Amino acid sequence: MTSPKTTPTLSAALIVKNESKNLEVCLKSLAGWVDEIVILDSGSNDDTQQIAEKYTSNFHLKADWQGFGLQRQAAQKFVTTDYVLWVDADEVVTDELKQSILQAVSNDKPQTAYQINRKSWVFGRFIEHSGWYPDYVTRLYKIDEGRYSDDLVHEKVILEQDIKIDSLVGDLTHYTYDDLQHYLVKSASYAKLSADQKQARGKTTSLSNASLHAFACFVKMYLIKRGFLDGKQGFLLAVLSAHSTFVKYADLWIRSQPKRPD
């Protein structure tokens, strides 16, 4: 007589730093239906740890930051369940998405990972065009069938061979920027990491190339991806994204210029 099949277990995993403003709402959307919450902190100096420990005892510290990819890899080592669901501190799982996740884990389809549609709230509205929505990201997979890449920034999930990706129902709400200052600080950080990554791979560029990439970014977001349908926020996002793109390539160009003479 065979024993009945048990439902696979599920962890939610987060990497965080100074997320006291967002973390409580995020963890509330996970509490009570995942089997464990794993949090890896990279050196917060606010109330992040105190908030996290209200929801989980599986809180860890790794302050020697080596990039987003390696930090996620380190966090995954603390996961003890069959499936891992990746969530950022500024994201909230909606009820519809929660039910879809639980159904997927219960079904336990072989060789299958899942992508989730993110919906971002930016500067006073949800963005529904601009290339920002739909915004599918692979976030749910079996722990032995995937991991994150080594990339410093814009890290991606690497799945084992022959793993197919299905889409879940429901949105992951993303409260991406508090205000313009937050955008500029976050964008500058990502631009630096992107330039670091390209430089490490031996890439070079020119200011004309930076300008072309920035112009193409604006045209793609505002016209091709219909950012104009997102109103004033769509225009602002297209301008800011073009600026960020220019800065990313300009930073790389500056690094190839002669150093200050002694």
Query: What digits encode the pLDDT tens for the residues 10-69?
Result: 999 999 999 999 999 999 999 999 999 999 999 999 999 999 999 999 999 999 999 999
Report DSSP state, residue 220.
Answer: I
Query: What pLDDT score was predicted for residue 184?
Result: 94
Q: What percent of the chain has pLDDT over 90?
A: 87
Confidence of residue 223 (pLDDT cuts 50, 70, 90): very high
Task: Provide the whole-model pTM.
Answer: 0.89
The answer as to whether 262 is a domain residue is: no
The answer as to whether 131 is a domain residue is: yes
66 to each of 62, 107, 161, 247, how far by Cα in Å? 10, 36, 27, 22
Same domain, residue pair 96 and 214: no
Per the model's pLDDT, the better-predicted residue between 26 and 259 turns out to be 26
Same domain, residue pair 111 and 238: no
Which of 140, 139, 136, 168 lies closest to 9, judged by CA? 140
pLDDT per residue as tens digits for the range 142-154:
999 999 999 988 8
Give the long-range contacts of residues 2-9, CB within 8 A, separation 24 or more.
Answer: 7/105, 7/106, 7/108, 8/81, 8/82, 8/83, 8/105, 8/106, 8/108, 8/142, 9/35, 9/36, 9/80, 9/81, 9/82, 9/83
Q: Which residue has the tokens 């129902």?
A: 169
Same domain, residue pair 66 and 191: no
The answer as to whether 50 is a domain residue is: yes
- Say how many C-beta atoms besides its own lie within 10 A of residue 139's C-beta: 22
Same domain, residue pair 140 and 193: no
Q: Last residue of a domain, which of 175, 200, 234?
A: 175
100 to each of 104, 115, 148, 159, 167, how far by Cα in Å? 6, 11, 23, 21, 9
Number of domains comprising the chain: 2
Q: 75 in helix, strand or coil?
A: helix
Same domain, residue pair 22 and 112: yes
Same domain, residue pair 212 and 248: yes
Same domain, residue pair 225 and 146: no
Q: Is the model's pLDDT at 3 over the cut of 70?
A: no
What string of DSSP letters covers 93-129? E-HHHHHHHHHHHHHT-TTEEEEEEEEEEETTEE--S
Same domain, residue pair 63 and 138: yes
Same domain, residue pair 59 and 141: yes
Q: Last residue of a domain, which of 124, 153, 175?
A: 175
Query: What pLDDT score was predicted for residue 6?
Result: 87
The residues near 64 (Cβ < 8 Å, ≥ 6 apart) are none
Identify the domain containing residue 188 by its residue range.
180-255
Q: Is the model's pLDDT at 240 over the cut of 70?
A: yes
Same domain, residue pair 162 and 192: no
Same domain, residue pair 33 and 110: yes
Q: Is the model's pLDDT at 2 over the cut of 70?
A: no
Query: What pLDDT score was predicted for residue 190?
Result: 85
CATH number, domain of 132, equals 3.90.550.10
The answer as to whether 122 is a domain residue is: yes
pLDDT per residue as tens digits for the range 70-108:
999 999 999 999 999 999 999 999 999 999 999 999 999
210 Cα distance to chain centroid: 25
Query: What pLDDT score was predicted for residue 178?
Result: 86
Q: Last residue of a domain, which of 160, 175, 190?
A: 175
Return d(Cα 21, Cα 75) in angstroms, integer: 21
Supply the mean pLDDT for the chain.
95
Per-residue tokens: 227? 């950012």
